[in-house]
Amino acid sequence: MNNIDTLVASRENRAPFESLLAGISVGKRLLNYHKNQTVFAQGDEADAVYYIQQGQVRLTVVSFSGKEATLSILGPQEFFGVSCLSHQRQRLSTASTLEPSVLIRIEKHALLRALRDNPPLFDFFLSNLLSRTLTLQKDLCTQIFDPSERRLMRVLLKLSRFGEPVQERVKMRKISHDTLATMVGTTRSRVTYFMNKLKKMGAIDYGKGMLLDPSRLSHALQEE
């Protein structure tokens, strides 16, 4: 198993990555954010990369006509804001927290220097970017070819995999139907209709918060 495979396996096992960042002593800060707090906004200066130590972050973009779309929702041990490492000077999206979150902010030049000097950090960062690229490709294919109901089920499955290893039933953080609609690319009313349908199937239970059954969702996807 090569270095990248080892690091990918470590990520899947939820092994802490912070030790690889410990060598960065200058240009790194630990930040605490409240729920629904903006980390950076579309059009801001792109000057740092963020690493999620705890919590969830939503990336959105707004078109010239004012229409908003959710690009992704990220969880622990994921990076965002990496476009600053290229020649991108402004943020192309807005990042905001979906729940109380702990983030590590690494200035662009500090991270570039660390990537040159720390091969294990470079390997992990590269594997993370490759994994993100593959995920985005899958999401794009889903957006193009799948109907909205299947897209919603895939989004819910993805959200259920943040945090602890998937159990028989997962307690989900509250997320509005408006947010789900921007992620799926449909209307709020359609999301509400599909969520009620999933509730009748037993895939979702609102008894004590929102409980999701990943196995029932996966079975429903296979039957479609």
Q: Does residue 163 have a pLDDT over 50?
A: no
Alpha helices (H) in the chain, listed in sequence order: 3-12, 18-21, 108-117, 119-145, 148-160, 177-184, 188-201, 214-223
pLDDT at 41: 96
CATH number, domain with residue 219: 1.10.10.10
Answer yes or no: do 31 and 123 share one domain. Answer: yes
Highest-confidence range of 27-36, 57-66, 171-180, by mean pLDDT? 27-36
Show the domain range for 171.
Answer: 147-223
Amino acid code (one letter) for 4: I
* DSSP letters for 99-129: S-EEEEEEEHHHHHHHHHH-HHHHHHHHHHH
Q: Does residue 69 have a pLDDT over 50?
A: yes
Q: What is the CA radius of gyration of the chain?
A: 18
Task: Render pLDDT for 114-140 as a digit per residue (tens, 0 to 9).
Answer: 999 999 889 988 888 888 888 888 878
Number of independent structural domains in the chain: 2
CATH number, domain with residue 55: 2.60.120.10
Asked which of 95, 121, 143 is the last residue of a domain, the reply is: 143
pLDDT at 13: 39
Who wins on pLDDT, 1 or 213?
213
pLDDT at 25: 86
The contacts of residue 76 (CB under 8 Å, 6+ apart) are 14, 52, 53, 54, 55, 162, 163
